[in-house]
Amino acid sequence: MITLYHAPQSRSSRIIWLLEELGIDYRIQPVSIFRPMSGTGSPDPANPHPDKQVPAIDHDGVVVAESVAIVLYLTDAFPEAGLGAPVGDPRRGDYLTWITWYAAAMEPAMFAAMGGELEGAPMKQRGYDAVVKRVETALARGPWLMGESFSAVDLLVGSALNFARKAFPESEAIDDFVARCKARPAALRAVDLDDVSGLQRAA
């Protein structure tokens, strides 16, 4: 059994989406977290995450924390869902590249834009421009970032774009991509599960 340690409307929300896409049995364990943007909440001793943040999962005694690690772990553990690219799949290199790019390039660029750090910072601006170009170039081939099939790459990038849409330039391709992601049945179920009474109180 998989237990997801979850705080509503946080990074763990997209892991509910992932678990729904995988179609596997899991349970949600609400935990409180400190939310730096609002200064509210507090760490939960029951949370196995090393930093008492979310997401974290426990899969039959194996604890995995952080979105990228959880995505890689679960898509490898449940390859039949077709959300990743298992070892031996010719798409494996592209899949790992996209997942790592999300953490190494997209998130830093996104938070730099959100924090007003791009102006007067040529290196950060170049990184940000490269992120936008990469996403739009992939979507021009689309409809998904790795081609014709939805993957966990789309889940990671789509959830980030939805969260920080104002941090990126106007783009019909990006807007359409975010809309496609949000319209997926698993994504809609995840929104309902994220907002159910009781989970909100855990924040």
Does the structure show a pLDDT above 80 at 197? no
Is the CB of residue 4 less than 8 Å from the CB of residue 17? Answer: no
CA distances from 107 to 79, 103, 112, 156 (A): 26, 6, 8, 10
Write out pLDDT tens, residues 100-141. Answer: 999 999 999 999 999 999 999 999 999 999 999 999 999 999
Domains observed in the chain: 2-82 (3.40.30.10), 92-186 (1.20.1050.10)
Residue-wise pLDDT for 150-192, tens only, equals 999 999 999 999 999 999 999 999 999 999 999 999 999 999 9
- Residue 198: burial class (beta carbons within 10 Å; 0-12, 13-18, 19+): exposed
Give yes or no for a contact between 68 and 102, defined as CB atoms under 8 angstroms apart: yes
